[in-house]
Amino acid sequence: QLQLQESGPGLVKPSETLSLTCTVSGGSISSSSYYWGWIRQPPGKGLEWIGSIYYSGSTYYNPSLKSRVTISVDTSKNQFSLKLSSVTAADTAVYYCARHPMQWLVPGYFDLWGRGTLVTVSS
Amino acid sequence: DIQMTQSPSSLSASVGDRVTITCRASQGISNYLAWYQQKPGKVPKLLIYAASTLQSGVPSRFSGSGSGTDFTLTISSLQPEDVATYYCQKYNSAPFTFGPGTKVDIK
């Protein structure tokens, strides 16, 4: 059974870079059928898509975050990663990684999610 | 970018009631629409994709319909375990925007 697990610091200082990794187990991140994405949810608020990546390195980013986001993939470790720079308190959220089945060669809905990890931005 | 709205933002209904949630896209998205259920403190769960296709394992009391700009999620007979926030999401093209959510609880 394929599983996703987020990891990384739970506390980041303002103006620094948030870094998270999602480890895929029970299956290969190099599957041609899926993109892999990041979604976040501030406490008590809704879901916001951050960005997604294919095993080849092809990416899609949310325009609202694009200037601060980098998503990368390491197929040898079966992992993909998120970096969000210049964070503020507004970036405090639960960060989820998730799998997107491809729909006509582009990412689709999210069918499998990690458990999520809370990242707090505070000095 | 296409904006997603949902109505109502919250509702309270009795066990056994039929519940309908509406999701609207600001431009047409064909049937590239998914619905998720997020129970309190839990991870979002995919219920429906392609506007009306039930994800494997999801109870048949959930159904989806619509195309273009207007979509609905229906719970035919509300159960206590359906207390959750429901989100729609478009995926015709990036950005893969979620709706603001509809919170459902039991009256």
**Would you list which residues of chain B are within 8 Å, Cβ to Cβ, of chain A?**
1, 32, 34, 36, 38, 43-46, 49, 55, 87, 89, 91, 93-101
Which one-letter amino acid corresponds to residue B70?
A: D
> What are the tokens at B88?
């729609």
CA A99 to chain centroid, in Å, comes to 10
Q: How far apart are CA A10 and CA A76, in angstroms?
A: 25
- Quote the tokens at residue B17: 């009631």
What whole-number distance in Å separates Cα of residue B58 and Cα of residue A98? 19
Q: A7 to chain B, minimum CA–CA distance in Å? A: 16
For each of the domains in chain B, give its residue range(s) and CATH number, in order of start: 4-106 (2.60.40.10)
pLDDT at A4: 98
- A123 strand-pairing partners: none
Which positions in chain B touch A37 (Cβ < 8 Å)? 96
Q: Measured between alpha carbons, how far is A93 from B5 in angstroms, rounded to an integer?
A: 22
What whole-number percentage of chain B has pLDDT above 70? 100
pLDDT at A14: 98
- Name the DSSP class of B97: P
Give the pLDDT score at A103.
Answer: 80
Return the pLDDT at A123.
95
Instruction: Give every residue of chain A whose pLDDT is below 50, as ranges.
Output: none
Which residues of chain B fall below pLDDT 70?
none
Token digits of residue B41: 């403190």
Q: In this complex, which of A62, A64, A103 lies closest to B32 when CB atoms are compared?
A: A103
Q: Residue A104: its pLDDT value, please? A: 79
Instruction: Give the per-residue pLDDT at A105.
Output: 78
